Amino acid sequence: MEAYQRLKDLGLTLPPTPIPAGNYIPAKMCDDLLFLAGQGPSRPDGTWYTGKVGRDVTWEDAYEHARLVGLQLLGVAARIVGDLNRVEVIKVLGMVNAVPDFADHPKVINGCSDIFVAVLGDKGRHSRSAVGMDSLPNGMTVEVEAILRVLPRE
Amino acid sequence: MEAYQRLKDLGLTLPPTPIPAGNYIPAKMCDDLLFLAGQGPSRPDGTWYTGKVGRDVTWEDAYEHARLVGLQLLGVAARIVGDLNRVEVIKVLGMVNAVPDFADHPKVINGCSDIFVAVLGDKGRHSRSAVGMDSLPNGMTVEVEAILRVLPRE
Amino acid sequence: MEAYQRLKDLGLTLPPTPIPAGNYIPAKMCDDLLFLAGQGPSRPDGTWYTGKVGRDVTWEDAYEHARLVGLQLLGVAARIVGDLNRVEVIKVLGMVNAVPDFADHPKVINGCSDIFVAVLGDKGRHSRSAVGMDSLPNGMTVEVEAILRVLPRE
């Protein structure tokens, strides 16, 4: 149970799955691929971290939001697959709700990527795009979607 | 022919495939995955529904545009696969050409998701991101791309 | 070695893989799918082509940038797979750092699509979305990510 030990060592717990804001599901399997729906950073009370990065929110704060989203995505995967050790991250699309001259998207989305690698080790390493959005649902600061692979039971 | 019966019950017909606006094809298969190119809402005369959602266009109108795009995407899938009943929706990326403070992307992209579920039933349920774009080709209000699974012949 | 002959005929050489700007890798395999991380247009000295398309940069110049990114993506694929002839392009997401009223995204991203088809022939033909971003890392003009298929050795 390596991934769970790493979570414990990091002092982290998997947050509950946010309720989808529309007619979709948080994750869908296709063969061994698990497509995770985009998520934003959710507070325990169900509200979101909001604001334009580069104006209302610093990249350092947005990094923390992306880290939280990474943890939320792992939470969804753990519940769907049943064992986080059977999960490999393939591809991440990290979207930052930023001002037009923002340039540090990679630094922000590293928050999500760092948590994937910290919890899953080499299996957390992934290909990625990190880009700037004009707007995001509810004014969220970041939104990340991911494609994972589900490994066979050992 | 359940999907076609549902289309009939809804009073809908599959629109023709819009002509690609560049050097790409409307859909590409890879194993059992069908990657549908992004489409915008097309009028019968070949023009597009255009404008910034939240300024020129209400979310309710944009919902109808997303619904139309959903129908167009099903049209492409039906023509490629030959039978809409062999199609399952996996992942949707819904992009709204919105003003920077727009927050209701999920409500807009529900137009597409709703039509997928209405026509395909449980097979229409999918994972999704719904986000805001700074601009879209030809000023279109929405653009949606999707990943489908093609099920084996029964 | 058809693809390499075409490169030679076009007078092109595959550029080196840009160093990832964050905690991710340039490409990740999953079964026969190769997910290429988003790339921007890189100069030989490691700097990027920057600016807002439709204001600082014409679509014609941005077309050249997208073409360069296409070549960079082929370079990554060639190094990972070992043989460009075993590569098929499935899906492209082309993102243009554009002003809000920009409408010619397809013309820009054709730069990338054209090079895929010129080098790989029919195997270069792909499904695609071409859209407008509010901002991109380092102010790059374009960013393109792609999903490829790796074909078995003959």
What SS3 string covers B14-46?
Answer: CCCCCCCCCCCCCEEEECCEEEEEEECCECCCC
Instruction: Give the residue-averaged pLDDT of B12-37.
Output: 94
CA distance C121 to C4: 12
Tell me how close the Cα of A55 comes to any Cα of chain B, in angstroms.
13
Distance of CA C77 to the CA centre of its chain: 11
Which pLDDT band holds residue B60 (cuts at 50, 70, 90)? very high
For C5, counting Cβ atoms within 10 Å of its Cβ (0-12 exposed, 13-18 middle, 19+ buried), the class is exposed
Nearest by CB to residue C102, choosing from B21, B22, B135, is B135
**How far is the CA of B75 from the CAs of A154, B8, B9, B41, C127, in angstroms?**
42, 14, 17, 13, 15
For residue C46, is pLDDT > 90?
Answer: no
Which of the other chains make 3 or more beta carbon contacts under 8 angstroms with chain A? B, C
Provide the mean pLDDT of chain B: 96
**Phi, psi torsion values for B132, nearest 5 degrees:** -110, 125
Which of the other chains make 3 or more beta carbon contacts under 8 angstroms with chain C? A, B
Q: Residue with structure tokens 């986000």?
A: B131
For residue C154, is pLDDT > 80?
Answer: no
**How far is the CA of A152 from the CAs of A31, A148, B90, B149, in angstroms?**
11, 13, 20, 21
SS3 B144: strand
**How far is the CA of A18 from the CAs of A85, A118, A141, C5, in angstroms?**
22, 22, 16, 52
pLDDT given at position C148: 98
Tell me how close the Cα of B52 comes to any Cα of chain A, in angstroms.
12
Q: Residue with structure tokens 């700097």?
A: C47
SS3 C150: strand
pLDDT given at position B81: 97
Residues of chain C neighbouring B143 (CB-CB closer than 8 A): 129, 131
Query: C51, C58, C71: which is closest to C113 by C-alpha?
Result: C71
Instruction: Give the residue-averaged pLDDT of A1-11.
Output: 93
pLDDT given at position B61: 98
pLDDT given at position B82: 96
CA distance C42 to C15: 9
Residues of chain C neighbouring A147 (CB-CB closer than 8 A): 30, 35
Sign of the torsion angle spanned by Cα atoms C51, C53, C57, C60: positive
pLDDT tens for each residue of B83-108: 999 999 999 999 999 999 999 999 99
pLDDT tens for each residue of A102-149: 999 999 999 999 999 999 999 999 999 999 999 999 999 999 999 999
Provide the mean pLDDT of chain C: 96
CA distance B150 to B86: 6
Q: Residue with structure tokens 């992004």?
A: B38
Inter-chain contact B22–C149, Cβ cutoff 8 Å? no
pLDDT given at position A57: 98
pLDDT tens for each residue of A39-92: 999 998 889 999 999 999 999 999 999 999 999 999 999 999 999 999 999 999
pLDDT tens for each residue of A16-26: 888 888 999 99
pLDDT given at position C69: 98
pLDDT given at position A39: 97
Tell me how close the Cα of A114 comes to any Cα of chain B, in angstroms.
22
Inter-chain contact C93–A125, Cβ cutoff 8 Å? no
pLDDT given at position A154: 77
CA distance C125 to B24: 6
Which pLDDT band holds residue B46 (cuts at 50, 70, 90)? confident
Which pLDDT band holds residue B1 (cuts at 50, 70, 90)? low
**How far is the CA of C122 from the CAs of A139, C117, C126, in angstroms?**
42, 6, 9
**pTM value surpassing 0.95:** yes
CA distance C89 to C75: 13
Nearest by CB to residue C25, choosing from A33, A100, A126, is A126
pLDDT given at position A1: 62
pLDDT tens for each residue of C58-101: 999 999 999 999 999 999 999 999 999 999 999 999 999 999 99
SS3 A98: strand
Ordered structural domains, chain C, with CATH: 2-14+30-150 (3.30.1330.40)
The ipTM is 0.96
Which of C28, C96, C138 has the most A C-beta neighbours within 10 Å, making it the best mutation to test the interface with A?
Answer: C28
Inter-chain contact A133–B128, Cβ cutoff 8 Å? no
For chain C, the C-alpha Rg in angstroms (whole number) is 15
For residue C1, is pLDDT > 70?
Answer: no
B122 contacts: CB under 8 Å, gap ≥ 6: none
**Phi, psi torsion values for C56, nearest 5 degrees:** -90, -20
Spell out which chain A residues touch chain B, with contact meaning CB-CB distance below 8 angstroms.
Answer: 21-28, 30-31, 35-38, 52, 93, 95, 100, 133-139, 143, 145
Inter-chain contact B114–A21, Cβ cutoff 8 Å? no
